[in-house]
Each structure stands twice: as C-alpha cells, then as structure tokens.
Amino acid sequence: MTTLYLFVFAQSHDEFRLPELSSVAELNGIPYTLPLKPEDRDPTRPFMVIGLGKEDHAQILARRCILIKFVSVYEFYGQGSTYEELHAANRASRPLWEKFIPDTSFRFLVTSYNHKIPQSRQREVIESFSYMDFLGPINMKNPDITCAVLEEYFDTRGTTRSKHQGDGNFRQVFFGRLIEEGTARNLIVKFDVKKRSYFGNTSMESEISLLMANQTLASPGKIVYDPFMGTGSMAYPTAYFGALVYGSDIDGRQMRGKDKKSPGVIRAATQYGVASRIVDLCTFDVTHNPWRCGELFDAIVTDPPYGVRAGAKRLGRKRELSDRQRQLCEEHRMNPSSDDQPYIPPTRPYELSHLAADLVLLARYLLRPGGRLVFFLPTVTDEYEEVDIYTMLCEGMEVIANSLQDFGSWGRRLVTIRKTTSEKYPSPTFEPIHEPKVDHVPAHKDFREKYFQGFKPKEERGASKDSSTTPV
C-alpha cells in the first residue's frame, strides 16, 4: 500500500534533486511515485508529495539525500489552494490521524516558504483545525506528534514589500505530521573544504561532492575510481558512504601536497575516518594507464580538467624537444625518480570534447555492467543543446541524469551515465582524432578558448576576457 509523504527540499541545485532521489531510492531498493501533475513535481518548488510503501523508506531517503531539508518529511494529510480545500482533504484523511485523537500529546506549527505569517493569523490557522478534536495535551517542547501547516508563496525577491504584505495569498498550503528530520545536509558542514586538512584550488565544494557521491550509488563493498583525483574531493564522501576508492592523477603533487611524509589525500581521509577505504593512489596519465583488465569498478566519479586552471594534459608533445628536455627524458629513463621530484614528463593539451568522449569509452571498459560514470562537463550556456551530450556517447552507455549548475555565461552539467551492456570491450586507444559520430559540434568543444574569449557569440569571438567566475 502506498502512503503519501510530504518532503521539504533545500532550495539549492534544483536540477540535481530528482536524480539524487532516484539514485538513493535505487541504491536502497525503494519504489516511489512522484506527483502526476508536472507543476507538482517542479523542482524549483520547495514541497513535493511522494508516494512510498513504508515509513522506513521516508527515513532512509531523508538520511541520505543531500537535497532534503532538515525539518523535512511529513505524513501527508492534505493540500489546497485555499484553506477550504485543505480542510476538505484533511477530513478525508481522517483514517490516518484519528488514532491520535484520544490521548496523544501534540503541537501545531504554522510555517511558510518565501513569506512570514503574522502570529495572529498563525493562531487563527491552528484554531481552524479544531474539528480534529485532539484530546491529548498540547506540548510545545516534547510532544508525541508535531502537525505542521506549510504555506508556499511565490518568490517575490527583488520587489519591495512591507513585512506581512500579501499574507494569505499563498500558492498552495500543505498539512501533515512530522515523521523525520533530514540529517544528510549536516554532511555539507562535515565535509566543508575550508575545514579539510588538505585541499587545493581544484577542490570541489562539499555539497556538490556529496551529490556526486550519491550519484555513484556508493555503499559498502563497492569500488569507485577517480581518474582525475587531484585533491580527492569526491573520494571522501564516497568512502564515507562505505565504498572503497581508487584515485589516480597525472600529477602526483596534486594528491600529495607539500607534506613529505604523508600524502595530503590520506591526511584528509584520516580526518574523516576513511583512510583505510582509500585503496590506493597512483600517478599516471589516464590515456596511458596501467590497469591490467576491465570491468573493475562499480562507479567512476570525476571532475575532468576543464583546461582553464587545472589544464587538461596528456603525455606526449606537439613540438620537437629542446636539447635540455631531451636530456631530462634520458635521465628519467636511466634513473626513474619518484613523482615528487622535479622531473615532469612533457605533456600536451587535451581538448575537452575529445577528453569527454575518451572518458566515456574508458568507463565502458573499466566499469562492471550496470556501473555508473558520474562527471562534470563544463559548457557554454547559450550554445548548449541536448545533443551535445550524445556526441560523446558510445554503444552500451546510456545517460540517466544530466543536471545543470548554472554560473551565467557558462555552466557545468553533472552527467550520470550507466553502462547498460555486458559485452566485453577492449581498452580504448585514446587516438587523438575522433571521427564525430554525430554531425554536430558540441558547445563544450574548445571550452578553454571560449572561456578566455568571454563566451561571446560565435560571430564576435575576439580576444577579451570575461571577469565572471573562473572555472577550475
């Protein structure tokens, strides 16, 4: 039997909300139903009524979904665009709440979204529920049950209004009984980059890292790999959710930091109590990788180099070596030193659309069937088209989520791809030139150049630089 629950979502990263809910539900084997009307599952709205088979399931979701708010999950009794409608619905829900009539202690809360309700009307609202005839004592501090009325107002930011102006002109009002406080948002503070013992200018903010970790379906017994590990931002929440993690990077110093003794990534993992779940860190160019076989990982989670700050590189070079460089190469050959020594192998730039297509091919090889690739793709907002994502896909790999984080003229898309095939594929060759499978140039092609030209429309691309947020 399905029971309806009212969920309160954080107003943050709207497009990530339903993909996260779907991932956490899949991970825990939780069937759920979304509202039928599109406007009722609009992720820009704070409330959503979701059907679940068990109350336990609501708890599991509230404890793992980063985008579910603190005071957040209610057994749903009714909603309406007026109080008449709400009360009619609530009367019809009587079988759900009549068990609380005889002797349950209770309190009523009246809250709102995008508005502040004056105290006098809060009292009126509570009195309008007197037909429920709860006989137990009112207890504001420690009641057996908390019932809440939640009024949703349209966003009026940017307009000047007096304090309670528009009171009562809500879009929708909801009513239910509080059953669970979402705790997952506490993790955003726990994994705060600024409080981490090791981070760098490529570190990913904690909320996004957590969302990415949820997209991987991280849980005990799984192995997850980040081939552009850097300072390891996604490894920590992924390991915290129980998975074992591998990381590699072309530049060992990104994973080590300055401390000569213990690698930075291990120090940060120790701070979170997950050091033993970082299986290993390796230094190599992912386009020349030493993995002995495929189908190793349950997920690959990564933030590929965009080519702006943490430039995309690969081994090899376009131009001839200077004598000095040739000598260095020779020295390295005769006497290989560890990766924290000054020798840095020659690298050449790696264009983003090639890198993205290569990453999908690599994931198809390295993921076990059903495994997921979760990664960010930066893109030019005005030029992006849905088909861009498909220019990098290959057979056996299917996009299951694609959520935009919008920074204005540019943005980045968190893409989740599932390996749907159980065929065996060879390791990709990383040939520099890809024949485009689709006759289409994606907006993320030459992202670095577009970035430094300030994302001008195609016709007027010149040489000036944008001053907005810098992609890393």
Partner 1 sequence: MVRLITHNLLACHVKDCNTNNFPLEFKDAQIELRETEFNPEFVRGIIPKLEWKALVDTARELGDTTLPLELPEMLDDDFLKNLHHVLLEIHVEDGVMICANCKHVYPISNGIPNMLLAEHEIG
Ligand X SMILES: C[S@@+](CC[C@H](N)C(=O)[O-])C[C@H]1O[C@@H](n2cnc3c(N)ncnc32)[C@H](O)[C@@H]1O
Residue ranges that bind partner 1, judged by CB under 8 A: 220-221, 244, 246, 248, 250, 252, 255-256, 260-263, 266, 276-285, 288-293, 295-296, 315-317, 321, 329, 332-333, 336-340, 345-346
Residue 136 near which of partner 1, ligand X, none (CB within 5-8 Å, type-dependent): none
Least distance in Å: CB of 438 to ligand X?
24
Q: How far apart are CA 273 and CA 255, in angstroms?
A: 18
- The verdict on 231 binding ligand X (CB under 6 A) reads yes
Helix (H, G, I), strand (E, B) or coil at 270: helix
Least distance in Å: CB of 276 to ligand X?
20
Both structure tokens of 441 = 């140039």
Both structure tokens of 76 = 């749903």
Least distance in Å: CB of 196 to partner 1?
19
For 155-181, the DSSP string reads --TTS---TTTTTT--SEEEEEEEEEE
Residue 305 near which of partner 1, ligand X, none (CB within 5-8 Å, type-dependent): ligand X
- The verdict on 75 binding ligand X (CB under 6 A) reads no
- The verdict on 312 binding ligand X (CB under 6 A) reads yes
Interacting residues with ligand X between 276 and 295 (CB under 6 A): 285-287
| Residue of the chain from 90, 215, 238, 254 that contacts ligand X (CB under 6 A) | 254
- The verdict on 204 binding ligand X (CB under 6 A) reads yes
178-217 burial by CB neighbour count: b if 16+ within 10 A, else e?
A: bbbebebbebbeebebeebebbbebbbebbbbbbbbbbbb
Residue 42: which residues within 8 A CB-CB, separation 6 or more?
A: none
The identity of residue 238, as a single letter, is T
Q: Specify the residue, 279 or 472, whose C-beta has the smaller distance to ligand X.
A: 472
Q: Specify the residue, 151 or 303, whose C-beta has the smaller distance to ligand X.
A: 303
Residue 89 near which of ligand X, partner 1, none (CB within 5-8 Å, type-dependent): none
Q: How far apart are CA 374 and CA 74, in angstroms?
A: 31
Q: How many CB atoms lie within 10 A of CB 62?
A: 24
Residue recorded with tokens 């019809």: 92
What are φ and ψ of residue 197, in 5° steps?
-70, -15
| Residue of the chain from 305, 428, 442, 471 that contacts ligand X (CB under 6 A) | 305
Both structure tokens of 438 = 């689709």
- The verdict on 249 binding ligand X (CB under 6 A) reads yes
Least distance in Å: CB of 338 to partner 1?
4
The window from 30-38, 44-52, 61-69, 201-209 that contacts ligand X (CB under 6 A) reads 201-209
Q: Does the CA dihedral 255-259-265-268 come out positive or negative?
A: negative
* Count of residues near ligand X by CB under 6 A: 25
Least distance in Å: CB of 233 to partner 1?
18
> Which residue has the CB atom at the shortest distance from ligand X?
230
* CA dist 260 → 29, 96, 273, 363, 443 (Å): 45, 62, 21, 33, 41
Least distance in Å: CB of 275 to partner 1?
9
* Angle between helix 17-28 and 55-64 (nearest 10): 120
| Residue of the chain from 152, 251, 358, 388 that contacts ligand X (CB under 6 A) | 251
Q: Which residues bind ligand X (CB under 6 A)?
A: 200, 202-204, 227-228, 230-233, 249-251, 254, 285-287, 303, 305, 310, 312-314, 350, 472
